[in-house]
Chain A
Amino acid sequence: MSGVDQWFLIGMVHAMFVVLAIGGCMTNRWSALIAPLYALAALACLIGMVPALGTLIAADAGTVSRLVLPVGLPDIQSHLRLDGLAALFLVIVNLGGIAAAVYGIGYDAHTSQPARILAPFPLFLAGMNLVPVADDAFTFLIGWELMSVASWLLVLTGHEQADNRRAALVYLTMAAFGALALLMAFGALAGAGGGYTFEAMRRAMPSPTVATLAALALLLGAGSKAGLAPLHVWLPLAHPAAPSHVSALMSGAMTKVALYALMRGLLELTGTPQWWWGGLLAVIGGLTAALGALQSLTQNDTKTLLAYSTIENIGVIAAALGLAIAFRASGQTLQAGLALTAALFHALNHSLFKALLFLGAGAVLHGTGTRALDRLGGLIHRLRWTAPLVLIGCLAISAVPPLNGFASEWLVFQSVLDATGLGHWEMKFAAPVVGALLALAAALAAAGFVRFFGIAFLGRPRDDAAATAREVAPSMLAAMAGLAALCLAFGAWPGVPLASLTRVATALVDPSGVLSGPLLDGRTAWLVVAPHGELTAVYSGLVAALGVAALTGIVVGITSMVSSGRVRRGPAWDCGFPDPSPLTQYTASSLGQPLRRIFGSVVLAARDRVEMPPAGAPEPARFASTLRDPAWHYVFDPLIGLVTRATERLNLLQFLAIRVYLSLMFAALIGLLIIVAVAR
Chain B
Amino acid sequence: MTALVIFIVQLLAPVALAPLLTGFVRKIKARLLGRRGPPLLQPYRDLARLLRKEPVLAHNASWLFRGAPYGAFGAVWLAMTAIPIFTTSSLNLGLDLIAIAGLLGLARILIALAGMDVGTSFGGIGASREMTIGALAEPAMFVAIIALAIIANSTALPDMSRAMGDGVGLRVSLALALGAIVMIAIAETGRIPVDNPATHLELTMVHEAMVLEYSGRHLAMIELGAMLKLTLYLSLIACIFAPWGIARDAEASVLAAGLGLWLAKLAIGGLALAVFETAIAKMRVFRYPEFLGAALLFGILGVVFLYISQHLK
Chain A residues with a Cβ under 8 A of chain B: 377-378, 380-381, 391, 395, 398-401, 406, 410, 413-414, 416-417, 420, 425, 428-429, 431-433, 435-440, 442-444, 446-447, 449-451, 453-455, 458-460, 527-528, 534-540, 543-544, 547-556, 559, 562-564, 566-575, 578-579, 582, 584-586, 590-595, 597-598
Complex-state Cα separation, A575 to B61, whole angstroms: 16
By the criterion of a CB under 8 Å from any partner CB, how many residues of chain B are at the interface? 89
Question: Given known contacts A454-B113, A543-B94, A586-B123, is B289 in contact with A598 (CB within 8 Å)?
Answer: yes
Q: Are A454 and B127 in contact (CB under 8 A)?
A: yes
Q: Which A residues are CB-close (under 8 A) to B142?
A: 413, 435-436, 438-439
Q: Are A568 and B57 in contact (CB under 8 A)?
A: yes
Complex-state Cα separation, A258 to B21, whole angstroms: 54
The list of the 3 closest CB pairs from A to B, nearest first, reads: A586-B124, A540-B94, A552-B74
Partner of A567, one of B54, B64, B70, B73: B54
Question: Given known contacts A377-B119, A436-B139, A535-B149, is B94 in contact with A564 (CB within 8 Å)?
Answer: no
Q: Are A594 and B129 in contact (CB under 8 A)?
A: yes
Question: Given known contacts A548-B74, A572-B59, is B105 in contact with A564 (CB within 8 Å)?
Answer: no
Interface of chain B, main secondary structure = helix
- B residues 81-120 near A (Cβ < 8 Å) are 81, 92-96, 98-99, 102-103, 105-106, 108-109, 112-113, 116-120
Binds A, one of B151-159, B232-240, B252-260, B274-282: B151-159
Partner of B109, one of A400, A440, A592: A400
Question: Given known contacts A380-B64, A555-B74, is B102 in contact with A590 (CB within 8 Å)?
Answer: no
Contact flags B288-302 to A (C-beta < 8 A → 1, else 0)? 110000001001100
Q: Are A575 and B119 in contact (CB under 8 A)?
A: no
Q: Which A residues are CB-close (under 8 A) to B300?
A: 432-433, 436
- B residues 120-151 near A (Cβ < 8 Å) are 120-125, 127-129, 131-132, 134-143, 145-146, 149-150
Interface of chain A, main secondary structure = helix
Q: Are A395 and B93 in contact (CB under 8 A)?
A: no
Binds A, one of B166-174, B190-198, B211-219, B243-251: B211-219
Q: Are B146 and A543 in contact (CB under 8 A)?
A: no
Q: Which A residues are CB-close (under 8 A) to B64?
A: 380, 391, 458
A-B contact pairs, 21 of them (CB 8 A): A380-B64, A398-B109, A401-B102, A440-B139, A443-B139, A446-B108, A451-B131, A453-B113, A458-B62, A458-B116, A460-B60, A538-B156, A540-B93, A540-B94, A562-B51, A567-B216, A568-B56, A573-B212, A584-B120, A586-B116, A598-B132
Q: Are B285 and A594 in contact (CB under 8 A)?
A: yes
Q: Which A residues are CB-close (under 8 A) to B304?
A: 429
Chain B residues with a Cβ under 8 A of chain A: 51-64, 66, 70-71, 73-75, 77-78, 81, 92-96, 98-99, 102-103, 105-106, 108-109, 112-113, 116-125, 127-129, 131-132, 134-143, 145-146, 149-150, 153-156, 159, 202, 212-213, 216-217, 220-221, 285-286, 288-289, 296, 299-300, 303-304, 307
Question: Given known contacts A459-B117, A592-B128, is B307 in contact with A428 (CB within 8 Å)?
Answer: yes
Besides the known contacts A380-B117, A537-B154, 4 further A-B residue pairs in the complex with CB atoms under 8 A apart: A410-B102, A432-B299, A539-B96, A549-B74
Q: Are A420 and B57 in contact (CB under 8 A)?
A: no
Q: Which A residues are CB-close (under 8 A) to B116?
A: 450, 454-455, 458-459, 586
Q: Are B77 and A458 in contact (CB under 8 A)?
A: no
Complex-state Cα separation, A567 to B66, whole angstroms: 10
Q: Which B residues are CB-close (under 8 A) to A401?
A: 95, 99, 102-103, 106
Question: Given known contacts A454-B113, A564-B52, is B154 in contact with A572 (CB within 8 Å)?
Answer: no
Complex-state Cα separation, A573 to B123, whole angstroms: 11
